[in-house]
Structure 1
Amino acid sequence: MSMELSHRVQSLTPSSTLAISAKAKELRDMGHDVIGLGVGEPDFNTPAYIIQAAKKAMDEGLTKYTASGGIIELKKAIIEKFTNDHQLAYTTNQVIVTTGAKYALYALCQVLLNDGDEVIIPTPYWVSYPEHVKLAGGEPVYVEGLEENDFKITKEQLEQVITNKTKALIINSPSNPTGMMYSKDELQALGEVCIKHNILIISDEIYEKLIYSDDEHISIAQLSNELKEQTVIINGVSKSHAMTGWRIGYAVGPTNIIKAMTNHASHATSNPTSIAQYAALEAYANKRENEKINAEMREVFSARLDAFYELIQSIPGITCEKPKGAFYIFPNVIEAAKLNGFQTVDEWVTALLEEEKVALVPGSGFGAPNNVRLSYATSMELLEEAAKRIKRFVLNNQ
């Protein structure tokens, strides 16, 4: 029996990350020494104090259903985090704990968008943003963050694409895939445009704790009461506490939106995993250990970034702005691809994997076809070897 699938699912773009990962796995299974730089998670294990909290929760029988929006203790810990980090005050009915930050974004699009509503997405973008919009019947509207402006959009660019169908703007700072950050003045300028046109701001701040420059992470919601009331912040413990597999994210924002998201969750997921919620509670509540893991990750990633960036920069035909956060660099490799006789970066990436066994993610999946995303969430030894192989590939194929 062949059943036609829904138009929503058929509209989805296959993940370029998964395609490269599948090819890399195939080569590994054949016995090849493949270096994967496509991973989007810290290579740290979840800290022991968090794991112990999960075990304790299991031993105490905290394994039942919870409220759909999350346990009240975790909501209060999230509220305290925003008070301490951004001097932002929220109440528990302005917080929803979700099955990963990805589901928070998905549920937000589901409760916000009607067919034909437009969401402005700066490019390069995280691969799931447009898919979430499309699954809700919305239309992604892309605005190019120019490389010479550190891949960030301006208020003038934003003004040009606003229509009477525009419902929201997505901001991701620090960014996946570029690692770049918006400054306070840049956020203020974008925020003023959104207030003027009554556009909701969706601020994805999942990488806020992974910053390696003197720049401070600014949440657009902290710039004014007006902006706070017009912003939904998406965050979670996946990147900050090496808890990707625990699937705990959250959203904070206007009460009516959070209530609608909670109703959606009650039918979609019932609730986030109870044990993982108690683990996340400990991640935030144990402030000494919290600060320790954040500092350790920043130190390690910062050292890797400094070394790996210099190695990649030295390769002919590759140019790159140095990122300020997350754990990716996003070099422009189109000249290297042309030097090697390829018409597209996607072809170059595939050939690099086959010949030198280095797996990168092509930028086409992020709306930037001249670039590639390289994750430095792996050992310095492997990063050095990967850079050596990439350079050899470029020089040997000229």
Structure 2
Amino acid sequence: MIVPTEAPNRLESLVNTTDHGQPEWRLDSDASGTVIVLSGEWIAQDGRIPPFPADGLRQVKKGQGIAFRTDSLGRWDTALISFLWDVKQQATRAGLDLRADTLPDSARKLLDLLPEQAAPPPPPPHRRFAPVTAIGAHTLDSLTEIGTVTELGAETARGALAAATGRGRMRMTDLMSNVRDAGPSALLIVGIVNFLVGAILAFVGAVQLHKFAADIYVASLVGIAVVREMSAVMTAIIMAGRTGGAYAARIATMQGNEEIDALTVFGIPVSTYLILPSILSLILTMPFLYLYGCLIGILGGFCVAIGMLTVTGAGYFHQTINAIALNQFELGFIKSIFFAALIGLTSCRIGLRAGRSAADVGIAATRAVVVGIVGVIALDAIFAVIANTLGI
């Protein structure tokens, strides 16, 4: 607590009254002028550092010198330097001569490094309305990022070829662990979503087709929609949110813990050791998850058709088999592979460019999910145009 005190032959001073060892200061006077007496231990971690008030030097006459007395000063750290800097700034503003020759040598050297006044905050940047410049900068950044992701994909492909010939640095334990996380662990959520999608398609189709006594064609609607589009897209979206976000968060955490830097220092290529198992596990598991999603989606449509329409089970599956051509499975199979490569590459890249704080891990995971979902839908639109051109 800061309280005033009086003493003979002294200025009316401010004294920090504390227990033994706690930091305290007071203004005193002697033959040479005003003296700031420091005592106690000035340790920032203790949280007991007394502040220097804004009017602490109001009683000192302009032009008078100020010195320090440190006979009773104990241990100190940067807390003392912060206090001395406050004194230095106020002395400069008041036109007083501050003499630091009686301070400990290390404290005096540190205080000499600090300016007499704190630097004013920089003015806010002036923002001009320049849409052409903004569009150009965004375009260049996008092209640069596309080139970086392409280069990362090429390095990963070269690492895959080296691993196939026994010269790679990918560990099979890492690949098997990623395959388990991206495959069997995702069966439940993939099955639930695709079952509901198939049921929704059957319900919507049944409402309209029943008006034309075409109940049996619900099987064709569900089968074609699930095999051609919905199973591949919904499975990819699930994997982008579940596995892609996990990849980005994992790599961002390694970036914050400087594990990526350690791999680089030891000469271990990150693309082969870390990214290749992640991408390869998605490429291996996504086609099987797609086929599993097709089966579950058709089953969801079957349950709705049997419950709402006058369709037999044998008739439903017979109509489904006749409606779905083999090239529809080929298209969905190819799309699932490209979706897997897209999710793996973008998620790992976002994790590698993340910051080093805990908040950056969450930002990287969120960005990976968003980019993965948008990328999957955009890539599916490209495949739709290609399939329409080829007449599939």
Q: Indicate the TM-score class for this superposition, using the shorter chain for normalisation.
A: under 0.3
More contact order relative to length (CA 8 Å, sep ≥ 6) = 1
Greater Rg, structure 1 or structure 2? 2
TM-score normalised by length of structure 1: 0.17
